[in-house]
Structure 1
Amino acid sequence: MNTADTLADWQARQQEVEARQHEVGVARPDQVVGRSGLQILQAMVAGELPRAPISRTLGFVIVDLAEGRAVFQGQPKFDHYNPLGTVHGGWIATLLDSAVGCAVHTLMEPGKTYTTLELKINYVKAITHKVPLVRAVGEVIHRGGRIATAEGRLVGADGTLYAHATTTCLIFEAQPPTKP
């Protein structure tokens, strides 16, 4: 598939997902209890649970999920620029952190959760608003009882690698919802 076709497919997928996601916020405990991490994320993509506020603020969305894998997509904008005239590394890091963290999230059983212990980013090529879309693809490397690791790559529709990342996450029991 050529770059134009890949870009068209990516744009169509983003429009499809965003058309279902009308609510922005944080899911209530009663909406997620008894669901696996993958089921929670799938419900967000389907528009059954609210999408995270950060995704609207920074202009990115989950476009694909599978066990041990999460794909986020975003459009670099001038609003994301640093003083050097390129997209800020924090925007790139947030996209990659979301992809690798959610890849781990897809492997959480009901009642389990995780937090990031470490995130390492390698920036290999600057991004400007002239890059129409980028995808952060996160994949789990290892999932143990207490620790999970994942890696991610931020790429353009033409296959250009802009950054890559690794993460280490701590897995633990989710706190049961508290009664008011």
Structure 2
Amino acid sequence: MADDAPVGGFAGRLGATLQESDDGSATLTFQAADEHLNPAGTLHGGVVATLVDTVMGQAVRTTTGDGEVPATSQLTVTYLRPGRPGPLEVRGRVRTRGEHLTICEADVEQDGRAVAHAVATFALLER
């Protein structure tokens, strides 16, 4: 997929940009701004959850056939340190792809430091 491709859905409305997506992996970038912060002044956990869910879904889509649609059935996000305004890199990868379920992982980094780690299960639905 081309660099700097727009991301659809909610993550796209937040401003996430798809950098690459191929062979069971994907990378997003995101510019955190004041509007993405919680009352404590750090990056809102819901924004982080949206980003990891989106990048893992994109990674799964690189492995699916025409009639398959990935749907998140479980998502666990471990927040490792507070995010701040500024650029984030979000990387997702397929760990195990089964016939009906796929397991993925994602990492969020800011300034070379881990912000969050996530694990998700995606159900593969037929259109």
TM-score by length of 1: 0.66
1:149 equivalenced with 2:103 (yes/no): yes
Partners in 1 of 2:23 and 2:119 — Cα distance? 18
- The alpha carbon displacement at 1:113 in A equals 1.2
1:98 equivalenced with 2:51 (yes/no): no
RMSD: 1.5
Partners in 2 of 1:99 and 1:57 — Cα distance? 15
Task: Specify which structure has the higher proportion of helix.
Answer: 1
**SS in structure 2 at match of 1:75:** strand
Partners in 2 of 1:159 and 1:170 — Cα distance? 32
1:125 equivalenced with 2:78 (yes/no): no
Partners in 2 of 1:53 and 1:140 — Cα distance? 21
Task: Specify which structure has the higher proportion of strand.
Answer: 2
Query: Looking at both structures, which has the greater relative contact order when contacts are Cα pairs under 8 Å and sequence separation is at least 6?
Result: 2
Partners in 2 of 1:70 and 1:111 — Cα distance? 21
Aligned length: 125
TM-score by length of 2: 0.91
Gaps of 5+ in 1: 1-15, 18-44, 175-180
Q: For the pair shown, which has the larger CA radius of gyration, 1 or 2?
A: 1
Residues 103-134 of structure 1, C-alpha deviations (whole Å, 9 max, x = no match): 111111111112110000000010111xx311
- The alpha carbon displacement at 1:55 in A equals 3.3
Code of the aligned partner of 2:97: R
